Chain A
Amino acid sequence: MSFERSFRVVDKIGVTQVLINSLSGACLYLLIGVSFWLIYAPTKTFFVSHAAAITFGAYACYWFNQYFGLPLPTAVCLAAIAVALGFAAVENALFQSLRGDSKSWVGLVASIGLYVVLQNIISLGFGDDTLVLRQGTITVGQKIGHAYVTWVQTLMIIVGGVLFVSTIMLLSTTRLGRGIRGVASNPDLCVLLGLNVDRITLWSIGMGSALAAVAGILSALDSDMTPTMGFRLLLNGVIVMIIAGAGSIRGFAWAALLLSMAQHLAAYFLDAKWMDTVAFIILIGFLIWKPLGFAEQRLKKVEL
């Protein structure tokens, strides 16, 4: 169907808008990609239930904001803390109980089960209808050049950027951060060196879940929320993590920008239904030609 019409002409209005949209989209993907890495790296388990952390963040924020009348910033902080505590407890318990099982797919299947349960809990509690977290009336965005930017987009860029930089700082300068990287690289060696691997894993899952909650809230503020919102966002976050190459957290920024820009350009010049296809083409392309991602190097491992 989309081939019926010719390719769109490049024009200033559209391209500026697409670039701004790509940037705010990239910041959201970046946040989710990093949040997933924080959980994947120390556990080496593909926690699909992380999608529920994104959804729970948005719904918890909605709950604090609408039912208790708390102002939005307070509700965001409380939601992030609640999701961090809840998911650290649940996912860590799942991870610890499966630890003896060397097959990684067991963890994957168990986490899919956990995701289904959690998503249904949200459906039961809040219903399947779209809920609105947005505050106030809908207004025309701020005009920048030929394009419009909404305050939520600005918030996405600022919050996404700040949280990403803070996470890098934390990972490279603090004791906990170095611990997380150590466990990600070689948990056995960390045990030998006397690090408390379990405690580090717990912290890492908690931090990842909190970041996911914030990403969910930003997405809900931008485009409302449904109980199934987390899964698609997680999918993009995971693609970002894979094309970034799990070795380098800095590669995440490039990966998020590449993915978001490719999706937005495809939607603009071809059709919106090509967004997912483009994401998977990029993923497959990377898996074939650059399997180690942007980082292009494996972490050095000390084998025992």
Chain B
Amino acid sequence: MQEHSAVHIIVFVTAVLLTGVTCHGSPREDATGVGVLLPLTGDASSYGQKGRRAIEMAFDDRKAQAAGLDRKLTVVFEDSKGNAKDGVSATQKLITVDKVSAIVGDALSAVTLPAAAVAEANRVVLISPVSSAPGITHAGKYIYRIWPSDLMEGKAAAGFAVSKGFKKAALLFLNNDYGNGIADIFATEFSGSGRNVVLKSAYQDITTDWRTIVTPLASSGADVVYVAGYYKDTAAILRTARELGIETQFIGATAIEDENLIKLAGTATEGIVYPLATGFDAASTDAVSKAFVNSFQKRFGYQPGWMEAHAYDAFMLVCDGVKSSKGRVSGTRIRGYLDHLGSYHGVTGDIKFDENGDVIREVVSSG
């Protein structure tokens, strides 16, 4: 009887110890999987699909240089559907089921923020290719991004408006983390010394009635309009403004840098100015950018934009992190690589991180 009890106790203790090992010992230390979290379906799917193409190409480019890669790399794509809830589930799946040690994603700040909390808690590196919400700066030690914070972009847009001598600004912004955040920064930077914001209006991107949103501009007396949104809604606002005979100067956000903007709004896009927060330029003469643009164009039949370029660089950085990890690959080791990264020359220019994991990059104006 006593022997039985002893056996039971040993079995029980061993089981508990083993469970402890599984829970805290991070079996993902052996994994070389990289997760990709992007909105592959839903309203933001155009961004997700662009990112996916670029990462597929980056993965193949990486395999081509297999000699330099000392271990087998796998990539797992997950669909965030562009919403926080699905993004968090997908992140949890990538970490617990696929046991990835690094994640590239998401494109939307509203998804990146909650996904970052999950990654941080599990000590998994997360690099967002294009998320710009100021909140990501302090999202954690394992969280990086290669797109400047909206703080930089909002300042650049307001700086342009001030330099052109505009006095009364109207703000139209998307009613989400991104739009609200960037509009607030613009308002703070612009106001003062006789300048003020005369109209501030939030809109939903699913609206079908743009006329309602644009109508107040006509009688607001604004001499400059700042639209903080994506290309689809900005295109709709520009088109409607033209129809309503509004000829004020428009300023947009970097997110509108998309060939579809002209497809959607045609000649109504004439005259709009926007800051360019990306370091990517498809017409660049830089050898790395040129090679990327050419091989992307050859493979997918169209010229890549900022989404493709940033996804490509984010994935390549993670691969370098995996490659540089001595012994077992872990989030902590990749983090160590990124923290001590002097400067990486990617297709979006030179990438350097500050102490918060934000890219250090200048924002310029484009028209």
Residues on A lying within 8 angstroms of B by beta carbon are: 1-2, 4-5, 8, 11, 13-14, 17-18, 21, 25, 123, 127-130, 132, 137-141, 143, 148, 150, 219, 222-224, 226, 228-229, 232-233, 263-264, 267-268, 271-273, 275-276
Contacts and interface: CB of A to CB of B under 8 A. Distances in A.
B260 interface: yes
9 contacts: A2-B201, A2-B202, A17-B244, A21-B211, A21-B212, A25-B209, A129-B260, A138-B242, A141-B245
Contacts of A18: 215
Given A128-B45, A228-B43, A228-B206, A5 B212 contact: no
B215 A143 contact: no
A26 B113 CA distance: 40
Contact of A139 (B175, B206, B242): B242
Of residues B206, B208, B218, B219, which shows the largest number of chain A Cβ atoms within 10 Å of its Cβ? B208
B263 A140 contact: no
Contact of B201 (A138, A139, A226, A272): A272
B268 interface: yes
Given A130-B232, A226-B43, A272-B201, A150 B243 contact: yes
Interface string B37-62: 00001110110000000000000000
Contacts of B175: 273
Contacts of B268: 138
A1 B236 contact: no
A140 B45 contact: no
Contacts of B209: 21, 25, 223, 263, 267, 275
Interface string B226-267: 000000100110011011110000000000000010011111
Contacts of B260: 129-130
Contacts of B200: 1-2, 4-5
B215 A14 contact: yes
A219 B236 CA distance: 13
Interface of B: 41-43, 45-46, 175, 180, 199-204, 206-213, 215-216, 218-219, 232, 235-236, 239-240, 242-245, 260, 263-268
The 8 A-B pairs with the shortest beta carbon distances in the complex, nearest first, are: A267-B212, A14-B219, A128-B45, A272-B213, A272-B203, A13-B219, A140-B245, A273-B202
B243 A224 contact: no
A183 B208 CA distance: 34
A140 B219 contact: no
Nearest to A153: B211
Contact of A264 (B204, B212, B218, B265): B212
Contacts of A276: 204
A140 B267 CA distance: 11
Contacts of A129: 46, 260
B236 to A, nearest CB: 6
A21 B215 contact: yes
Contacts of B199: 5
Contacts of B219: 8, 11, 13-14
Nearest to A223: B208
Nearest to B235: A130
Given A228-B206, A232-B206, A271-B201, A128 B42 contact: yes
A273 B203 contact: yes
Nearest to B42: A128
Contacts of A140: 242-245
A66 B161 CA distance: 40
A14 B202 contact: no
Contacts of A229: 208
A143 B245 contact: yes
Contact of A271 (B43, B202, B210, B211): B202
Contact of A17 (B210, B215, B239): B215
A129 B199 CA distance: 30
A155 to B, nearest CB: 13
Nearest to B240: A223
A128 B43 contact: yes
Which of A13, A128, A139, A268 has the largest count of B CB atoms less than 10 A from its CB? A128
A156 B236 CA distance: 18
A242 to B, nearest CB: 20
Contacts of A223: 208-210, 236, 240
A272 B215 CA distance: 10
B20 to A, nearest CB: 44
B107 to A, nearest CB: 14
B212 A138 contact: no
Given A2-B200, A271-B201, 10 more contacts: A14-B218, A18-B215, A21-B212, A130-B232, A140-B243, A141-B245, A223-B210, A232-B208, A268-B216, A276-B204
Contacts of A272: 201-204, 207, 212-213
